[in-house]
């Protein structure tokens, strides 16, 4: 991950963790979704976004979200490792894990550098 992308990813993850600690799960998920789009190509950061989404699912006691994130942790790690990920997917269980989505232009610029 190049330095600008890494800084942006870390900033989103820090904001997500801060929101999580404040029990602001909606805000945490929004930050995690942005971080997810940035991290999809990299195994460890990609899995980290799903791990934090899993934590939110556990706190919400949402079996669908917990199961979905456990599955995404495994398949996401494999997908990142082999270079096959649905670009732009935000990683939440509200969207099919195979669906590609448009990437925000600001994020796209970071991904292209």
The model's pTM is 0.93
CB atoms within 10 A of CB 58: 13
Split at pLDDT 50, 70, 90, the class of 97 is confident
Cβ(60)–Cβ(25) under 8 Å? yes
89 contact partners, CB below 8 Å, separation of at least 6: 36, 37, 40, 95, 97, 98, 99, 100, 101
Rounded-to-integer distance, Cα 46 and Cα 35, Å: 8
pLDDT(113) > 80: no
Within 61-112, where are the H helices?
63-82, 105-112
Q: Give the residue extent of every domain in the chain.
A: 3-112
Encode pLDDT of 46-93 as tens digits. Answer: 999 999 999 999 999 999 999 999 999 999 999 999 988 899 999 999
């Amino acid at each position: 991950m190049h330095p600008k992308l890494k800084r942006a990813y870390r900033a989103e993850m820090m904001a997500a963790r801060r929101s999580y600690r404040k029990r602001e799960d909606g805000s945490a998920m929004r930050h995690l979704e942005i971080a997810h789009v940035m991290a999809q190509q990299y195994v460890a950061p990609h899995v980290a976004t799903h791990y934090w989404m899993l934590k939110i699912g556990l706190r919400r006691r949402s079996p669908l979200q917990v199961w979905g994130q456990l599955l995404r942790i495994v398949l996401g790690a494999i997908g990142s490792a082999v270079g096959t990920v649905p670009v732009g997917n935000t990683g939440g269980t509200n969207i099919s894990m195979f669906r590609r989505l448009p990437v925000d232009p600001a994020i796209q610029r970071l991904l292209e550098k």
